[in-house]
Amino acid sequence: MRAQRLDDEQLDRIFAALSDRTRRRILLRLRSGPATVTELTALAGLSQPAVSKHCKVLEEAGLVRPERDAQRIHRIIELAPLIRAAVFVSQFEVQVDARLDRLEAHLQSGTDEE
Amino acid sequence: MRAQRLDDEQLDRIFAALSDRTRRRILLRLRSGPATVTELTALAGLSQPAVSKHCKVLEEAGLVRPERDAQRIHRIIELAPLIRAAVFVSQFEVQVDARLDRLEAHLQSGTDEE
DNA sequence: GTCGTACATTGCCAAGTGGTTATAGAACTG
DNA sequence: CAGTTCTATAACCACTTGGCAATGTACGAC
Protein backbone atom coordinates (compact mmCIF):
# COMPACT_ATOMS: atom_id res chain seq x y z
CA MET A 1 0.00 0.00 0.00
CA ARG A 2 1.42 3.34 -1.11
CA ALA A 3 0.01 5.34 1.79
CA GLN A 4 2.00 3.28 4.24
CA ARG A 5 5.19 4.25 2.45
CA LEU A 6 4.50 7.94 2.90
CA ASP A 7 3.63 7.33 6.51
CA ASP A 8 6.91 5.54 7.04
CA GLU A 9 8.87 8.33 5.40
CA GLN A 10 7.18 10.89 7.61
CA LEU A 11 7.88 8.93 10.77
CA ASP A 12 11.46 8.38 9.60
CA ARG A 13 11.96 12.12 9.38
CA ILE A 14 10.08 12.92 12.57
CA PHE A 15 11.95 10.48 14.77
CA ALA A 16 15.25 11.29 13.09
CA ALA A 17 14.64 14.96 13.79
CA LEU A 18 13.90 14.17 17.43
CA SER A 19 17.02 12.03 17.77
CA ASP A 20 19.32 15.02 18.14
CA ARG A 21 19.51 16.79 21.47
CA THR A 22 20.17 20.19 19.92
CA ARG A 23 17.00 19.88 17.90
CA ARG A 24 15.07 18.72 20.96
CA ARG A 25 16.33 21.76 22.86
CA ILE A 26 15.23 23.98 20.01
CA LEU A 27 11.75 22.47 20.06
CA LEU A 28 11.52 22.85 23.83
CA ARG A 29 12.52 26.47 23.44
CA LEU A 30 9.89 27.03 20.78
CA ARG A 31 7.17 25.97 23.19
CA SER A 32 7.40 29.42 24.70
CA GLY A 33 7.03 31.18 21.37
CA PRO A 34 8.73 31.74 17.99
CA ALA A 35 12.45 32.38 17.82
CA THR A 36 14.98 33.45 15.21
CA VAL A 37 18.05 31.49 14.18
CA THR A 38 20.18 34.08 15.95
CA GLU A 39 18.35 33.50 19.21
CA LEU A 40 18.54 29.74 18.80
CA THR A 41 22.26 29.99 18.02
CA ALA A 42 22.88 31.58 21.40
CA LEU A 43 20.87 28.82 23.04
CA ALA A 44 22.62 26.00 21.23
CA GLY A 45 26.19 27.18 21.64
CA LEU A 46 26.95 26.21 18.06
CA SER A 47 27.75 28.13 14.91
CA GLN A 48 24.94 29.87 13.10
CA PRO A 49 25.13 27.62 10.03
CA ALA A 50 24.87 24.57 12.26
CA VAL A 51 21.65 25.92 13.74
CA SER A 52 20.33 26.78 10.29
CA LYS A 53 20.92 23.18 9.31
CA HIS A 54 19.08 21.91 12.36
CA CYS A 55 16.18 24.19 11.54
CA LYS A 56 16.07 22.79 8.04
CA VAL A 57 15.89 19.25 9.38
CA LEU A 58 13.08 20.24 11.72
CA GLU A 59 11.33 21.97 8.84
CA GLU A 60 11.55 18.94 6.58
CA ALA A 61 10.05 16.86 9.37
CA GLY A 62 7.22 19.39 9.59
CA LEU A 63 8.08 20.16 13.18
CA VAL A 64 8.77 23.80 12.50
CA ARG A 65 7.47 26.48 10.15
CA PRO A 66 9.34 29.64 9.10
CA GLU A 67 7.66 33.02 9.11
CA ARG A 68 9.36 36.12 7.78
CA ASP A 69 9.20 39.35 9.71
CA ALA A 70 11.27 41.84 7.73
CA GLN A 71 14.86 40.59 7.76
CA ARG A 72 14.17 38.16 10.59
CA ILE A 73 12.73 34.71 10.13
CA HIS A 74 10.88 33.31 13.11
CA ARG A 75 10.55 29.56 13.58
CA ILE A 76 7.22 28.41 14.87
CA ILE A 77 6.64 24.96 16.30
CA GLU A 78 4.16 22.65 14.61
CA LEU A 79 2.48 20.01 16.72
CA ALA A 80 1.15 17.70 14.02
CA PRO A 81 4.32 15.59 13.69
CA LEU A 82 4.52 15.28 17.45
CA ILE A 83 1.00 13.92 17.40
CA ARG A 84 2.04 11.42 14.73
CA ALA A 85 4.92 10.33 16.95
CA ALA A 86 2.63 10.08 19.96
CA VAL A 87 0.16 8.02 17.98
CA PHE A 88 2.90 5.63 16.94
CA VAL A 89 4.04 5.17 20.51
CA SER A 90 0.46 4.77 21.68
CA GLN A 91 0.24 1.60 19.59
CA PHE A 92 2.23 -0.03 22.33
CA GLU A 93 -0.40 0.87 24.88
CA VAL A 94 2.04 2.94 26.80
CA GLN A 95 -0.05 5.22 28.91
CA VAL A 96 1.78 8.11 30.44
CA ASP A 97 0.38 9.36 33.69
CA ALA A 98 -0.49 12.99 33.15
CA ARG A 99 0.83 13.99 36.55
CA LEU A 100 4.11 12.21 35.90
CA ASP A 101 4.23 14.09 32.60
CA ARG A 102 4.04 17.42 34.28
CA LEU A 103 6.60 16.43 36.85
CA GLU A 104 9.14 15.29 34.28
CA ALA A 105 8.38 18.27 32.09
CA HIS A 106 9.06 20.52 35.00
CA LEU A 107 12.32 18.78 35.81
CA GLN A 108 13.47 18.95 32.21
CA SER A 109 12.59 22.61 31.71
CA GLY A 110 14.28 23.32 35.02
CA THR A 111 17.57 21.89 33.77
CA ASP A 112 17.07 23.28 30.31
CA GLU A 113 19.77 25.90 30.39
CA GLU A 114 22.61 23.50 31.16
CA MET B 1 23.84 18.78 35.37
CA ARG B 2 25.21 15.33 34.69
CA ALA B 3 21.85 13.55 34.90
CA GLN B 4 20.57 15.62 32.02
CA ARG B 5 23.41 14.37 29.88
CA LEU B 6 22.47 10.77 30.46
CA ASP B 7 18.87 11.60 29.77
CA ASP B 8 19.85 13.19 26.48
CA GLU B 9 21.95 10.23 25.48
CA GLN B 10 19.09 7.88 26.22
CA LEU B 11 16.62 9.94 24.20
CA ASP B 12 19.18 10.19 21.40
CA ARG B 13 19.33 6.42 21.18
CA ILE B 14 15.61 5.89 21.63
CA PHE B 15 14.53 8.30 18.92
CA ALA B 16 17.35 7.20 16.63
CA ALA B 17 16.22 3.60 17.05
CA LEU B 18 12.66 4.61 16.22
CA SER B 19 13.75 6.54 13.14
CA ASP B 20 14.16 3.41 11.01
CA ARG B 21 11.08 1.79 9.55
CA THR B 22 12.54 -1.70 9.73
CA ARG B 23 13.11 -1.27 13.44
CA ARG B 24 9.62 0.13 13.89
CA ARG B 25 8.19 -2.88 12.11
CA ILE B 26 10.20 -5.16 14.37
CA LEU B 27 8.83 -3.42 17.44
CA LEU B 28 5.28 -3.62 16.14
CA ARG B 29 5.79 -7.31 15.53
CA LEU B 30 7.10 -7.82 19.04
CA ARG B 31 3.89 -6.48 20.49
CA SER B 32 2.36 -9.88 19.80
CA GLY B 33 5.14 -11.75 21.59
CA PRO B 34 8.86 -12.55 21.46
CA ALA B 35 10.50 -13.44 18.17
CA THR B 36 13.83 -14.79 16.97
CA VAL B 37 16.15 -13.10 14.51
CA THR B 38 15.23 -15.74 11.97
CA GLU B 39 11.55 -14.87 12.27
CA LEU B 40 12.26 -11.17 12.10
CA THR B 41 14.47 -11.70 9.05
CA ALA B 42 11.55 -13.20 7.16
CA LEU B 43 9.40 -10.27 8.21
CA ALA B 44 11.94 -7.62 7.22
CA GLY B 45 12.97 -9.04 3.87
CA LEU B 46 16.61 -8.24 4.61
CA SER B 47 19.70 -10.30 5.23
CA GLN B 48 20.11 -11.95 8.62
CA PRO B 49 23.11 -9.81 9.58
CA ALA B 50 21.14 -6.68 8.79
CA VAL B 51 18.39 -7.77 11.16
CA SER B 52 20.95 -8.68 13.82
CA LYS B 53 22.31 -5.16 13.54
CA HIS B 54 18.86 -3.67 13.91
CA CYS B 55 18.28 -5.78 16.98
CA LYS B 56 21.51 -4.53 18.45
CA VAL B 57 20.46 -0.93 17.92
CA LEU B 58 17.11 -1.65 19.57
CA GLU B 59 18.90 -3.37 22.42
CA GLU B 60 21.26 -0.45 23.01
CA ALA B 61 18.25 1.83 23.14
CA GLY B 62 16.75 -0.51 25.73
CA LEU B 63 13.75 -1.17 23.52
CA VAL B 64 14.41 -4.87 23.32
CA ARG B 65 15.85 -7.54 25.59
CA PRO B 66 17.36 -10.86 24.46
CA GLU B 67 16.46 -14.13 26.15
CA ARG B 68 18.17 -17.37 25.28
CA ASP B 69 16.14 -20.51 24.78
CA ALA B 70 18.63 -23.22 23.83
CA GLN B 71 20.15 -22.17 20.53
CA ARG B 72 17.46 -19.64 19.86
CA ILE B 73 17.47 -16.10 21.18
CA HIS B 74 14.10 -14.47 21.57
CA ARG B 75 13.77 -10.69 21.51
CA ILE B 76 11.32 -9.26 23.96
CA ILE B 77 10.00 -5.73 23.75
CA GLU B 78 10.70 -3.33 26.62
CA LEU B 79 8.27 -0.50 27.16
CA ALA B 80 10.35 1.77 29.38
CA PRO B 81 12.08 3.65 26.53
CA LEU B 82 8.75 4.10 24.79
CA ILE B 83 7.46 5.69 27.95
CA ARG B 84 10.48 8.01 27.99
CA ALA B 85 9.71 8.99 24.41
CA ALA B 86 6.04 9.52 25.25
CA VAL B 87 7.00 11.66 28.24
CA PHE B 88 9.22 13.82 26.06
CA VAL B 89 6.45 14.34 23.53
CA SER B 90 3.96 15.04 26.30
CA GLN B 91 5.97 18.11 27.23
CA PHE B 92 4.40 19.75 24.22
CA GLU B 93 0.96 19.13 25.63
CA VAL B 94 0.06 16.99 22.72
CA GLN B 95 -2.84 14.95 23.91
CA VAL B 96 -3.71 12.02 21.76
CA ASP B 97 -7.32 11.03 21.89
CA ALA B 98 -7.37 7.44 23.10
CA ARG B 99 -10.06 6.48 20.61
CA LEU B 100 -8.11 8.02 17.75
CA ASP B 101 -5.12 6.04 19.00
CA ARG B 102 -6.90 2.78 18.69
CA LEU B 103 -8.24 3.69 15.29
CA GLU B 104 -4.83 4.58 13.88
CA ALA B 105 -3.23 1.61 15.57
CA HIS B 106 -5.80 -0.61 13.96
CA LEU B 107 -5.24 0.92 10.53
CA GLN B 108 -1.48 0.61 10.85
CA SER B 109 -1.53 -2.99 12.01
CA GLY B 110 -3.98 -3.70 9.19
CA THR B 111 -1.51 -2.47 6.58
CA ASP B 112 1.43 -3.93 8.42
CA GLU B 113 2.31 -6.56 5.90
CA GLU B 114 2.83 -3.89 3.24
C1' DG C 1 33.46 -36.16 17.88
C1' DT C 2 30.67 -34.21 13.34
C1' DC C 3 26.87 -32.04 11.29
C1' DG C 4 23.35 -28.58 11.07
C1' DT C 5 20.99 -24.57 12.75
C1' DA C 6 20.76 -19.97 14.80
C1' DC C 7 22.94 -15.96 15.52
C1' DA C 8 26.82 -12.60 15.90
C1' DT C 9 30.82 -10.46 14.08
C1' DT C 10 33.88 -8.77 10.54
C1' DG C 11 35.09 -6.25 6.53
C1' DC C 12 33.60 -3.57 3.00
C1' DC C 13 31.03 0.18 0.58
C1' DA C 14 27.86 4.12 -0.56
C1' DA C 15 25.29 7.47 1.54
C1' DG C 16 24.02 10.39 5.28
C1' DT C 17 25.04 13.43 9.50
C1' DG C 18 26.85 17.08 12.29
C1' DG C 19 30.17 20.14 12.78
C1' DT C 20 33.25 23.86 10.90
C1' DT C 21 34.73 28.26 8.00
C1' DA C 22 33.92 31.11 4.16
C1' DT C 23 30.78 33.14 1.11
C1' DA C 24 26.45 34.78 -0.74
C1' DG C 25 21.96 36.84 -0.52
C1' DA C 26 18.14 39.54 1.49
C1' DA C 27 16.41 43.29 3.99
C1' DC C 28 16.66 47.33 6.91
C1' DT C 29 19.60 51.81 8.13
C1' DG C 30 21.88 55.99 7.32
C1' DC D 1 24.29 54.50 -2.64
C1' DA D 2 27.29 51.89 1.26
C1' DG D 3 27.14 49.51 5.40
C1' DT D 4 25.07 46.34 8.79
C1' DT D 5 22.40 42.53 10.24
C1' DC D 6 20.21 38.13 9.68
C1' DT D 7 20.11 33.94 7.42
C1' DA D 8 21.16 30.51 3.90
C1' DT D 9 24.34 28.00 1.07
C1' DA D 10 28.72 25.92 -0.32
C1' DA D 11 32.72 23.27 0.47
C1' DC D 12 34.99 20.41 3.34
C1' DC D 13 35.90 17.03 7.11
C1' DA D 14 35.36 13.08 10.44
C1' DC D 15 32.12 9.99 11.79
C1' DT D 16 27.98 7.13 11.53
C1' DT D 17 24.54 4.28 9.22
C1' DG D 18 22.42 0.66 6.65
C1' DG D 19 23.10 -2.59 3.52
C1' DC D 20 25.75 -6.77 1.78
C1' DA D 21 28.71 -11.33 1.66
C1' DA D 22 31.77 -14.03 4.24
C1' DT D 23 33.22 -15.92 8.39
C1' DG D 24 33.04 -17.17 13.27
C1' DT D 25 30.67 -18.95 17.34
C1' DA D 26 27.38 -21.37 20.21
C1' DC D 27 24.23 -24.87 20.82
C1' DG D 28 21.61 -29.22 20.05
C1' DA D 29 21.27 -33.58 17.43
C1' DC D 30 23.28 -37.63 15.82
Where in chain B are the domains?
A: 2-110
Q: In the predicted model, what is the mean pLDDT of chain A?
A: 87
Average pLDDT, stretch B72-100?
Answer: 87
The partner residue sitting opposite B94, judged by closest CB among A83, A100, A104, is A83
Class of domain A2-110: mainly alpha
Task: For residue A37, give the amino acid letter.
Answer: V
Strand partners, A35: A75
For residue A109, name the pLDDT band (cuts at 50, 70, 90): low
Residues of chain A with a CB closer than 8 angstroms to some CB in chain B: 1, 3-4, 7-8, 11-12, 14-16, 18-21, 24, 27-28, 31, 77, 79, 82-83, 85-92, 94, 96, 98, 100-101, 104-105, 108-109, 111, 114
Chain C bases near protein Cβ (<7 Å): 4-11, 17-22, 26-28
C-alpha–C-alpha distance, residues B66 and A104, integer Å: 29
Residues with Cβ within 8 Å of A87's Cβ and at least 6 positions away in sequence, in order, are: B96, B100, B101, B104, B105
- Greater pLDDT, B81 or B93: B81
For residue A48, name the pLDDT band (cuts at 50, 70, 90): very high
Under DSSP, is residue A51 helix (H, G, I), strand (E, B) or coil? helix
C-alpha–C-alpha distance, residues B5 and B86, integer Å: 19
Q: Say if residue B103's pLDDT is above 60.
A: no
For residue A112, name the pLDDT band (cuts at 50, 70, 90): very low
pLDDT for res A7: 87
Q: How far is CA B6 from the centre of its chain?
A: 20
Under DSSP, is residue B34 helix (H, G, I), strand (E, B) or coil? coil
